[in-house]
Chain A
Amino acid sequence: MWKPQLKYTLFFFFPAFTLILLLYVLTIWTVFMSFTNWKFGVRATSLKFIGLENYLELFKYQRFWESFKNNIIWLVFFVIPTAFLGLILAYLLDIAPVKLESILRPLFLYPTALSFAVTGVLWSWIYDPWDGVLNVVLFRLGFEAIIPWLDDPTLAKFSIISAAVWQYSGFSMIIFLAALRGGLLKSAIEAAKVDGASSAQILLHIILPNIRNAMLVVISLLTIFGLKIFDLVWVMTRGGPGYSTEVLAVYMYVLAFHQDLLAASTAVATIIFALSSLILIPYVHYSIKRWFKHG
């Protein structure tokens, strides 16, 4: 629409871009370090370039692959349910009467206001094997066995993911709500109704395209989040029992600050970066192409 004259570029784009470049400086530093023998206390003068050695070492460990696998599980079981739950919540809010909405919106949103530490603690209590809300209720309903929500290596993964879905549906909800409420959507819907369009046509040609862009944002952000997830896992299980719920970001943190393997830690960080790029670039590219086709 506009011609990118220098003065406009400077005004609109320059501030944000400078900061992003700075962020890249830090990122590139991290990636670079993953090819060196960086250790705690190794001075710049004794830093050596060692190529892919850190990565090869990492790939030897079962623990790394365990974490990797767990992130994939997060991608599937966290991203999609959170996105859809958010969509449902946004839709419910949209059709609810105004008074009810003003109560429900903060209710669905408050988990996002909580820090991960608090959410982790709360849900650890809910999952407590003997006293937690879930098992107590099940027991009262006559169910004998004690479900090891956080102790069974497989179940624990999903218990944590559920807590994350709970916390993040609000996040996904407000983005969809913004799409449903913002811009000219409402007036476009009104206009279309005036023009005599049917509900289905409105849904297909007006609502859905706008939801699509919100969906793009939500899925991308949740994917990035799912690949970077650290705090919640840490607080709920520290990656346990054993290594069964560990994710890449937790392994990265442990490598750096518990095991002093700083270079290996940057290698994991780089892998997270690469994974995110591999997944998101095609997805976003494809979505945007499709958009511009639909006009």
Chain B
Amino acid sequence: MAKMMVNRALIISVLVLLSMLFLVPMYVMVVTSLKTPYEISLAEYLSPPKFPYLSNYLKILDKMGEALIDTLIVSVSSTMICIAIGTLAGYFLARFNLRYSLHLSFIVMLASFLPYQAILIPLTMLESWLFITDTYLGLIFAYVMLNTPLSTLIPMVFFMTLPKELEEIAIVDGCGPIHTFIKVVLPISKPALASTAILVFTSVWNEFLIALTLGGTRIRMVAPSVAELKGAYAAFWNLQMAGAIIGSLPPLIFFITAGKYFVKGLLVGTMRA
């Protein structure tokens, strides 16, 4: 009994400590976003503003409205495509008896080793030749390409650890791989898909350099828009924090919606004896 109480106390104190670690920076962000430029210059990071200076948010919505929509289009499309082709490829590598599955997995993994700044120039060249620079297609193409390895590997590893029984039952029932995949495997893989989706979505949403080089004039993305609020010769941290908060809301909302896939991780259907 006493042991349980100590355990509980320990767990609760750890939780509180960790929560503080996450709450304090968030508090600083919110508080800064509501200050006037003068209050920012005081550099009292923990003090709240005298009055919430909401016009920061209005300015942001005005400036960033278009960027939010554009980025949403690009991020959602990229994420959906990545999940689609990634889970398919992941299943292929996990469940198809190919002698070279392992080697292929390594090839997929290796593809993600280069920092993307290294391939900025050749990527620009490639897209220029394909005439897709400064287009939605161009950005989506770049982001899907860069995130395919991740989108393939996470589902792949997850599928590899699924017990084979359910699928074997489906085989016995006469189902082909496609049918099995869609009807049997996917429904119980929602957490893995949700994780992958969260990761891809956030990485695309917050991407900066490619957005400027290959988008730029026609498509405004959120990350550069937030950075813009600072300026080369001026400093507006309050605006930038307001922009950052608005800018991080969509991924956050995405997390919360995708989160429900984590809650019910249980299997669908029962094991037939």
Do these two chains interact? yes
Taking Cβ atoms with an 8 Å cutoff, the residues of A that contact B are 1-4, 8-9, 11-13, 15-17, 19-20, 22-27, 29-30, 88-89, 92, 95-96, 98, 101-102, 104-118, 121-123, 125-126, 128, 130-133, 136, 166, 171, 174-175, 177-188, 209-210, 213-214, 216-217, 220-221, 224, 227-228, 230-231, 249, 252-253, 256, 262, 265-266, 269, 272-273, 276-277, 280-281, 284-285, 288, 291
| Residues of B close to A231: CB separation below 8 A | 208
Q: Check if B169 is an interface residue, CB within 8 A of chain A.
A: no
Q: Give me the 4 closest cross-chain CB pairs, A-B, nearest first.
A: A181-B265, A269-B118, A16-B89, A115-B206
Q: How far is the CB of B152 from chain A (nearest CB, A)?
A: 5
Residues of A within 8 A of B199 (CB): 171, 174
Considering the chains assembled together, what is the distance between the CA atoms of A186 and B266 in angstroms?
Answer: 6
How far apart sit A24 and B163, CA to CA, in the bound complex (Å)? Answer: 33
Nearest opposing residue in chain B for A116, CB measure: B206
B98-116 residues at the A interface, CB under 8 angstroms: 98, 102, 106-116
A106-B259, A213-B160 in contact; A12/B122 too (CB < 8 A)?
Answer: no
> B180 — nearest CB in chain A belongs to which residue?
A2
* 23 pairs from A and B in contact (CB 8 Å cutoff): A1-B95, A1-B164, A2-B177, A4-B92, A16-B151, A104-B19, A106-B256, A108-B18, A118-B226, A132-B45, A133-B28, A179-B158, A179-B161, A179-B191, A181-B191, A182-B158, A182-B188, A183-B188, A249-B117, A272-B115, A272-B118, A276-B110, A284-B109
B262 x A105 contact (CB < 8 A):
yes
Measured CB to CB, the closest approach of chain A to B125, in angstroms, equals 8
Q: Are A12 and B244 in contact (CB under 8 A)?
A: no
Contacting residues, chain A, for B110 (C-beta < 8 A): 273, 276-277, 281
CA A140 to CA B145, docked complex, whole Å: 51
Number of interface residues of B (CB under 8 A): 104
Q: Is A183 within 8 A of B251, CB to CB?
A: no
Is B123 within 8 A of A26, CB to CB?
A: yes
Task: Work out how many contacts link A and B, with CB atoms closer than 8 A.
Answer: 291
A173 to chain B, nearest CB (A): 10
User: With A1-B95, A12-B91, A186-B266 given, is the CB distance from A217 to B113 under 8 Å?
Assistant: no
Could you tell me the distance in whole angstroms from the C-beta of A260 to the nearest C-beta in chain B? Answer: 12
The answer to whether A252 touches B117 (Cβ under 8 A) is: yes
Task: Please name the residue on chain B nearest to A217 by beta carbon.
Answer: B157
Q: Is the CB of B96 within 8 A of A3?
A: yes
Return A20 CB to nearest CB of chain B, in Å: 5
B248 at the interface (CB under 8 A from A): yes
Please, how many angstroms separate the alpha-carbon atoms of A4 and B91 in the complex? 12
**A17 surroundings in chain B (CB, below 8 A):** 89
Q: Are A114 and B158 in contact (CB under 8 A)?
A: no
- CB-based contact A220/B109 at 8 Å: yes
Contact, CB under 8 Å: B263 / A98: yes
Known: A117-B208, A216-B157. A281 touches B106 (CB 8 A): yes
A2: B residues at CB distance < 8 A = 95-97, 177
- B28 with A178: CB separation less than 8 A: no
Q: B76 to chain A: closest CB distance in Å? A: 15
Q: Is the CB–CB distance between A217 and B153 below 8 Å? A: yes
Whether B88 pairs with A13 at a CB distance below 8 angstroms is yes
Q: A187 with B106: in contact, given A23-B111, A122-B25, A123-B25 (CB under 8 Å)?
A: no
| Main SS class of interface, A | helix
Complex contacts, A105 vs chain B, CB 8 Å: 255, 259, 262
A182 and B266 alpha carbons, distance in the complex (Å):
7
Question: B231-265 CB contact bits vs A (8 Å, 1 = yes)?
Answer: 00000010011001001100110011001001101
Collect the chain B residues with CB atoms within 8 Å of residue A281's CB. Answer: 106, 110
Instruction: Check B24 for interface membership: any CB of A closer than 8 A.
Output: yes
Known: A8-B178, A23-B145, A210-B161. A102 touches B46 (CB 8 A): no
- CB neighbours (8 Å) of B190 from chain A are 182
B148 at the interface (CB under 8 A from A): yes
> What's the minimum C-beta distance from B133 to chain A, rounded to whole angstroms?
15
- In the assembly, what is the distance between CA of A106 and CA of B198, in Å? 12
> B171 contacts which chain A residues (CB < 8 A)?
1
Shortest Cβ gap from B121 to chain A (Å): 8
- A131/B45 in contact, CB under 8 A: yes
B191 and A114 within 8 A (CB): no
B177 with A8: CB separation less than 8 A: yes
Contact at A30–B122, with CB atoms within 8 Å? yes
CB contacts under 8 Å to A, within B5-24, are 11, 14-15, 18-19, 21-24
Residues of B within 8 A of A252 (CB): 115, 117-118
Known A23-B111, A184-B166, A272-B114; further 14 A-B contacts with Cβ < 8 A: A3-B97, A4-B96, A20-B111, A20-B148, A96-B15, A115-B244, A166-B21, A166-B25, A175-B195, A182-B158, A220-B153, A228-B114, A277-B113, A280-B109
